A and B are shown apart, each in its own frame.
Chain A
């Protein structure tokens, strides 16, 4: 297997003994009642049948592929005005909103289940759209075409995605307002994905290159859905290991996971292969409490959290804020203020890569000092606590995204009738006027959302402190600098949204 050794890492939470009705209990760090799990395959009629269908992924990806193809055509031949072109409205308003407010928190990486970008690459790799193949040459027991190279070890992390995403987001104003730029970026994703699938094995593109993947992996840690194995006992006696190596029923995990040992959502693309390959039906889909995966495993993941939080802040200022100068700088391709743009880009990169991590490090360092006790490794504290930025960042993004749909959602109705902005009127709604939907209520949604983010940040941060400092007193003292920082960040967003 290529890729990170994430599979071999010890699980950070206990795996479960499964009860009859699918509801199970797990020991939880920090005391309190045990966390629950609900086996969805056991309780939702027909779901087990559905996820076992080989055609399932094709059936959801293909329509999506057709839509994206049409969006790209509209982007090339349609109106250059963003709010009249379906590619802008559907991708950056509708898709983005659904992704960040529903899919990620409630259904983990379900976007990756339906995502069309790897469609051609994976098809070429497998030589099949629906069926499976066994034999050589290939990966595991599956026969696969292409070079099937291993992804370089040095790049087996999400740094590439960190820099790629930050780079892309530096030009976000052009990206979200100009159809042709979206065409180049989205079309480029198809091209790069296809090429990389031919060179490297399986979903190397998804795991290590796709710019969307970075934040999906990070924020899916909070998600209420997980794919996990049911009984460790069954796996340890299992000789087939189809979930890993593939077999006649399906492909070995395309995401380089060892599904039976998976303990975090991060790099599971919810492709449902392991649900098909396991001969003992020992893999399942479960509902679980929000913020159940809490272990950040490397600096690459911590920095993803810093980058995402910084971007949420930056977008709230450039896109939602009222300040002309920042808008002019960020929009340099139109205003020509490239000097200002350089300043804007530099402050964005500095904040995301140095300033926020620096302030964060300061509070971790101070916390270690205040918490006292036996000296603790700074790296362990830094990584562990950096998880607090995951719920806070996700909820800040959700709060940022609500105005997009509340204010500009009516464009969806007009653009459906005139997708290219060329004066068509397919459904008779082309002239539907821009009508914000109760924008005055947004603030009342955003404040509780930020509150939820802060709540989970404080709770997970304190629990981690307990696990490292032991006594209540030193846990509180140790966590206090970071807790204050988190609260201050939440108040900063509050100021931008309602202040």
Chain B
């Protein structure tokens, strides 16, 4: 790779990085931490509500119920797994990281939303045809990954534009000369 090309890549990466950082820094939580009690109703093949939005630091208490068959509730990143029986006020809660522990019977599952981003809760008890696709979303704000991603993508647009302007002089003409039928084309 030539020096100028290296510089060009370096500059581009810097712009994208800067824009990623700005994007990740932008999102804000919608309020101070609080205790949230939310009822989540499972049925074939979705949860109601489909999306739970909380802030980082919130204490989340979920009352899980099923409207038809036995469902599961496997919340990624929070080491939480529950089995939801229809017509039962209790759920059986366990920790996937500790399979040897006996599941606890609880009325509510509780956790502190310390990790930010979007995490899915999935059904972990085969419940029918679309069972593998039964899921809901927990969004813990501020969602820095989303902000950073949007920042990065916008940064790519900006970086491309800048670099084309700064370094593009002249190459345009070469491109036109090269664009037609290639001189090396096989007869």
Contact = CB atoms under 8 A, between A and B. Distances in A.
Interface of A: 10-17, 27-33, 81-84, 173, 177-178, 229, 232, 235-236, 260-261, 318-324, 327, 331, 334, 407-408, 411, 433-436, 439-440, 443-444, 447, 450-451, 454-455, 458-459, 462-463, 466-472, 475-476, 480, 483-484, 487, 490-491, 494-495, 497-499
Interface of B: 1-2, 5, 43, 45-48, 50-51, 74, 76-77, 96, 99, 115, 117-120, 122, 124, 126, 128-133, 135-137, 139, 143, 145-146, 148-150, 152-154, 156-157, 160-161, 164-165, 168-169, 171-176, 178-179, 181-187
Contact of A83 (B126, B161, B172): B126
B44 to A, nearest CB: 8
A494 B5 contact: no
A443 B117 contact: yes
Nearest to A447: B149
B130 A443 contact: no
B132 A83 contact: yes
A319 B122 CA distance: 12
B135 A232 contact: no
B129 A82 contact: yes
Given A173-B130, A436-B122, A491 B184 contact: no
Contacts of B119: 440
B76 A439 contact: yes
Nearest to B187: A236
B186 A494 contact: no
Contact of A13 (B96, B129, B182): B182
A33 B1 contact: yes
Contacts of B117: 443, 498
Contact of A235 (B46, B165, B183, B186): B186
Say what secondary structure dominates the interface of chain B. Answer: mixed
A466 B163 CA distance: 14
Given A29-B175, A499-B118, 8 more contacts: A30-B171, A33-B1, A81-B131, A232-B185, A324-B46, A462-B164, A467-B179, A498-B143
B125 to A, nearest CB: 9
Nearest to A455: B156
Nearest to A233: B186
Given A475-B172, A476-B165, A487 B157 contact: yes
Contact of A322 (B137, B156, B184): B137
A27 to B, nearest CB: 6
Contacts of B150: 491, 494
Contact of A178 (B129, B164, B179): B129
Given A323-B46, A436-B122, A472-B169, A14 B156 contact: no
A235 B184 CA distance: 13
Contacts of A260: 186
What 7 A-B pairs have minimum CB-CB distances, sorted nearest first?
A324-B46, A472-B168, A322-B50, A440-B77, A467-B179, A14-B184, A31-B171
A455 B132 CA distance: 32
A323 B182 contact: no
A435 B163 CA distance: 46
A84 B139 CA distance: 31
A483 B179 CA distance: 21
B153 A451 contact: yes
Contacts of B181: 10
Contacts of A469: 172
Most chain A CB within 10 A, of B47, B76, B132, is at: B132
A455 B131 CA distance: 35
Most chain A CB within 10 A, of B1, B46, B99, is at: B46
B76 A15 contact: no
Contact of B145 (A12, A28, A443, A470): A443
Contact of B175 (A459, A466, A497): A466
Most chain B CB within 10 A, of A31, A318, A480, is at: A31
19 contacts: A14-B182, A29-B178, A31-B171, A31-B178, A82-B129, A232-B184, A235-B186, A260-B186, A319-B133, A321-B50, A322-B50, A322-B51, A323-B46, A331-B129, A440-B76, A463-B175, A472-B168, A487-B157, A498-B145
B176 A499 contact: no
Given A10-B185, A483-B157, A84 B126 contact: yes
A32 B120 CA distance: 44
A15 B185 contact: yes
